[in-house]
Amino acid sequence: MDGFTLLPPRGTRVAVVGGCGGIGRAVVAQAVERGLRVAVLDLPRSMALFPPPDGTLAVGCDAMDEQSVAAAFEAVSREFGGLDAVINLVGFTKERMRLDDMPLAEWQEITSGTLTSAFLVSRAALPLLRAAGGGALVHTASTFGVAVSLPGYGPYAASKAGVINLVRALATECGPDIRVNAVAPGIVQTAFLQGGTGRPEKQERIDADAVTRMLPMRRIAQPEDMVGTFLFLIGPGSAYITSQTIHVNGGLWS
């Protein structure tokens, strides 16, 4: 490892799916600052709210739509030729609702936007990673994918648990040239707490004070707290890490 470099070097080609969300914007900003070649994939309405930085490739993408995802990665392929890394941050929830009150359509929308979207992104991204001779794919899991401590998050929690095992399946099938991991944030101060960037739904806000009292860090995470782990997982410092979910939650289970 030259100079014990941990993070990706300048020129690394990375697609950030959901790059206009709270964590996504922080990841993109740091990636651009480090000289990475960055493609930002997100909903057009999210891009209108938070335009990607100059120098990035902006591509409209609805990660719940098979054709939209395929077209977005084709656009990235035409511009970049291949990809060294993909970071997928897509996921959302809606109004908190008990499972016994939940319509099937609500369940399907949340699981589609959180788990099926991860499958679609993976399937479209893998050929571009292979074209580059291999690389890294990082999905976003969640503390809720391991432990559900609040009611009303059933489909989201089930989907994030699915993402954790999707990562394991992908790592098994795609190694050794492609590494697949996940970052599992805890509670992060982003628009996700109100449903998600670019989405009209409003979710009952999590009690930040109650969460803060549970955390050894004694504060809610900011998007910037997540960036280092995402970039580490696409860099040479994580060359022997695959099939793992790294929890960045302020010590929630301490």
Nearest by Cα to 249 from 210, 208, 213, 221: 221
Nearest by Cα to 194 from 186, 205, 185: 205
Is the pLDDT assigned to residue 195 strictly greater than 50?
Answer: no
Terminal Cα distance for the chain, rounded: 33
Residues 6+ apart with CB under 8 A from 16: 24, 27, 28, 31, 38, 39, 40, 41, 86, 87, 89
Summarised one tens digit per residue, pLDDT across range 121-170 is 999 999 999 999 999 999 999 998 998 767 889 999 999 999 999 999 99
The count of other CB atoms within 10 Å of the CB of residue 113 is 23
Q: Is the pTM of this model over 0.75?
A: yes
* Site of tokens 């010590």: 251
**Taking the CA of residue 88 as centre, how many other CA atoms within 13 Å lie in the half-sphere pointing to its CB?**
38
Summarised one tens digit per residue, pLDDT across range 198-231 is 445 555 456 667 777 777 877 888 999 999 999 9
Q: State whether residue 65 is helix, strand or coil.
A: coil
The residue annotated as part of the active site, out of 156, 192, 230, 232, is 156
What average pLDDT does the segment 7-26 reach?
A: 97
156 noted as active-site residue: yes
| CATH number, domain 9-245, options 3.90.1170.50, 1.10.3720.10, 3.30.9.90, 3.40.50.720 | 3.40.50.720
Structural domain boundaries in the chain: 9-245
